[in-house]
Amino acid sequence: MDAATLPIRDFMDAATIRLISTAYIDEPALAPLADGDAERDFLAAVEGLTSTRQSRTMPLPTGLAAEELTGAAHGYGWTHINAAFCYTRATGNRFNGPDRGAWYATHGPDAAPTARAEVGFHLTRELDATGIYENITAYRELLAGFVTRFHDLTAAPAIGDCLHPDPAIGYPAGQALARDVLQGGGNGVLYPSVRHAGGQCLAAFRPALVQNVRLGDGWVFTWNGDRDPVITAGTV
């Protein structure tokens, strides 16, 4: 399949969900001084003027131009947005190759459990490589808004192998489709979750599309010898 076969849908959602390890979460140092989102964003920008953490240069994949990345004026979470596009896996993910990352998130009424199911699958897959299912990892929700247009796989009559549950089959097909969408000027794709029945996901291909990032709930994934983690609300 190619991008030309996909319908394009207007998409608006103020609270899509992406889970990120709490090891990478830094709340704005001046946040307690803010009375609202506007003041928080202003203080985050002030912090960025002298923050060595925020001024560090991220690796730039070959398929990403520096001018595409967001800056401090984008508001809280701009470093998380950039990281999603700059730090890539050697084999890529479902809708991005190693040359360019993407912002993956869930949306709709089942956004939270879908995000947990997606993350739980990938963490378990990493533990499969060791055969030892003893681990505790804490995650925090990153909420983000979108007002854009996406290619819609949920309404496509045929999607080929791009949503195959086996990454060895699904990822190459999905990455080929993503390249076609991106090269044609598309913004990303909407697609049904492969890991949570009824769940809905998106992959945004352009950093500037991700708006109004803020923190949501915390979740702890605990493996006690079994492949299926126990997931509890909170932080560690």
Written as tens digits, the pLDDT of the chain (236 aa) is 789 889 999 999 999 999 999 998 865 555 555 566 566 556 555 655 554 444 457 899 999 999 999 998 899 999 999 999 999 999 999 999 999 999 999 999 999 999 999 999 999 999 999 999 999 999 999 999 999 999 999 988 778 899 999 999 999 999 999 999 999 999 999 999 999 999 999 999 999 999 999 999 999 999 999 999 999 999 87
Burial class from Cβ neighbours inside 10 Å (0-12, 13-18, 19+) for residue 28 reads: buried
Separation CA 54–CA 110 (nearest Å)? 33
pLDDT at 236: 72
Cite the beta strand spans of 31-171 per DSSP E. 103-107, 134-152
Separation CA 211–CA 227 (nearest Å)? 35
Contact 112, 217 (CB under 8 A): yes
pTM score, whole prediction: 0.88
pLDDT at 43: 59
pLDDT at 156: 82
Burial class from Cβ neighbours inside 10 Å (0-12, 13-18, 19+) for residue 89 reads: exposed
Contact 192, 43 (CB under 8 A): no
pLDDT in tens, 146-191: 999 999 999 887 788 999 999 999 999 999 999 999 999 999 999 9
Burial class from Cβ neighbours inside 10 Å (0-12, 13-18, 19+) for residue 135 reads: middle
Dihedral sign from CA coordinates of 59, 172, 157, 122: negative
